[in-house]
Amino acid sequence: MAEEKDTYSIDECYELGKIIKPHGLKGEVSIFLDVDYPEDYEDMDSVLVHLNGELVAFEIEQIRILPNKPKTALVKLVTIDKIEQTDDLIGASLYLPLDVLPELGEKEFYYHEVIGFEVMDKKLGFISTIDTVYSFTEGSLLVLEYKGKEVLIPINDETIVKVDRENKVLNVDLPDGLLDVYLS
């Protein structure tokens, strides 16, 4: 991780994934990496685990991304040496500090950062603010309310025009008729 601190709050972090299950008898765990590029995390040296309402830092002894399951990795934490020690970890969320995230281009964004951003369409102007982001294997969607209806906007290169972080605005070029589908 970048600059090391003793403690972090969840607001200072982003969710990396979850601990799924124990692997073997020597304290290794299988984790799900909820990220676009799992290989970017092959050299992690520590991770924050959400336990009993707190983020607890663990050093990583070894991490191996599984080639047949690219969003799954086997992780050996430094202080965990027996399968029994993994019991409290199973199902726990994994976090990293926000300051380790790389800078993104003008059309790229991290999903957590655009919650609350205004959506401005090229033709229609202001539409609404982003409530949440749904992420699926097939793609991701911005979720917002427009004229009392929930609207889902696809996140892709054709739709996203620019991210204005300073003014918290996401500029889009919506496909013709997209909003009409939700209003009819």
Q: Which domains does the chain have, with CATH numbers?
A: 10-100 (2.40.30.60), 111-183 (2.30.30.240)
Question: How would you write the pLDDT of the chain (184 residues) with one tens digit per residue?
Answer: 444 566 888 888 888 999 999 999 999 999 999 887 788 899 999 999 999 999 999 999 999 999 888 789 999 999 999 999 999 999 999 999 988 877 777 788 888 889 999 999 999 999 999 999 987 767 789 999 999 999 999 999 899 999 998 999 999 999 999 999 998 8
Question: For residue 89, what are its two tokens?
Answer: 């970890």
What is the pLDDT at residue 160? 94
| Residue 3: predicted pLDDT | 47
In our burial notation (b when 16+ CB lie closer than 10 A, e otherwise), range 7-39 reads: ebeeeebbbbbbbeebbeeebbbbbbbbbeebe
Tokens 């050093």 belong to: 59
Q: What is the pLDDT of residue 5?
A: 61
Percent of the chain whose pLDDT exceeds 70: 96
Q: What is the pLDDT of residue 2?
A: 42
Per-residue pLDDT at 1: 42
